[in-house]
Chains A and B, each alone.
Chain A
Amino acid sequence: QSALTQPRSVSGSPGQSVTISCTGTSRDVGGYNYVSWYQQHPGKAPKLMIYDVIKRPSGVPDRFSGSRSGTTASLTISGLQADDEADYYCCSYTGTYISYVFGSGTQVTVL
């Protein structure tokens, strides 16, 4: 199955907001409430930031929020901080087969 489409990079100044999009199809992003987002710092394992489209795990700051419109999910980081600089991946369950598909990843740069 094809990877979900994410922008290669986004950037913002400290304190600003950035939004990362994740575009799929009705067979994945648009069809199930199983969209999640992961933050990955260099040399580290991914960390779950958002699950079930909009839910935040315990310990994740409320500056991180998820949403979805049709077949596009989004991750918004508000009040950008230096430590937010990382790669971010979206993931969706896909019902074409019982499987999970990831986005290609977005590098967030804090200017």
Chain B
Amino acid sequence: QVQLQESGPGLVKPSETLSLTCTVSGGSVSSANYYWSWLRQPPGKGLEWIGYIYFSGSTIYSPSLKSRVTMSVDTSKNHFALKLGSVTAADTALYYCATTRTYCAGGDCYPGGDFDNWGQGALVTVSS
């Protein structure tokens, strides 16, 4: 089973860029079997999907965050990354990486509708 581990700075200043990495074990980021997802959860609040990236580099981002989000995959390090720019206090949250299974039919592959493996989460606080 794929295991995920988030890492990155726990404190980011307002207006700067939040950067996190998710290291994959028990699987490969080059696999066509998964889309690699990022989600977040502000303290005491609910979950929010940020976006995902496929091994090909194809990305889909949440419309509400699209202008500030960049995701990438590094096959040499078997990890994928999240960058969120121009952060404010509202971006303070527990950030999770997760997998979304891929379904293929007729030669086309597309992401499924759930998040089946999760990292333990990384708390990022935005404060000066």
Query: In A61-106, which residues have CB < 8 Å from any B CB?
Result: 89, 91-93, 97-105
* Complex interface bits, B85-113 against A, C-beta within 8 A gives 1, otherwise 0: 00000000000100000000000000011
Interchain CB contact under 8 A, B48 and A102: yes
Q: Which residues of B contact A (CB under 8 A)?
A: 46-49, 60, 62-64, 96, 112-116, 118-121
Interchain CB contact under 8 A, A46 and B115: yes
Q: Which residues of A contact B (CB under 8 A)?
A: 1, 3, 32-36, 38, 45-48, 51-52, 57, 89, 91-93, 97-105
A-B pairs with beta carbons under 8 Å apart, 20 shown = A1-B63, A32-B113, A33-B113, A34-B112, A34-B114, A35-B113, A36-B113, A36-B115, A38-B115, A45-B119, A45-B121, A46-B115, A47-B118, A48-B114, A48-B116, A99-B49, A100-B49, A102-B47, A102-B48, A105-B47
Chain B positions within 8 Å of A102 at CB level: 46-49
Partner of B46, one of A35, A36, A104: A104
* Cα of A101 to Cα of B63 in the assembled complex, Å: 11
Chain A positions within 8 Å of B116 at CB level: 48, 51, 57
Known: A99-B49, A99-B63, A102-B48. A45 touches B120 (CB 8 A): yes
Chain B positions within 8 Å of A98 at CB level: 60
Partner of B114, one of A36, A99, A104: A36
Interchain CB contact under 8 A, A52 and B49: no
Closest 9 CB pairs of A and B: A34-B113, A36-B114, A51-B114, A45-B118, A100-B49, A102-B47, A93-B113, A97-B63, A105-B46
Chain B positions within 8 Å of A36 at CB level: 113-115
Most chain-B CB neighbours within 10 Å: which of A1, A3, A46?
A: A46
* Cα of A80 to Cα of B101 in the assembled complex, Å: 30
Beyond the given pairs A3-B46, A32-B113, A48-B115, 12 more chain A to chain B contacts, judged by CB atoms under 8 angstroms and listed by A's residue number, are A33-B113, A34-B112, A34-B114, A35-B113, A45-B120, A45-B121, A48-B116, A52-B113, A89-B46, A91-B49, A93-B113, A100-B113
Q: Which residue of B lies closest to A44 (CB)?
A: B120
| Nearest CB on B from A48, distance (A) | 5
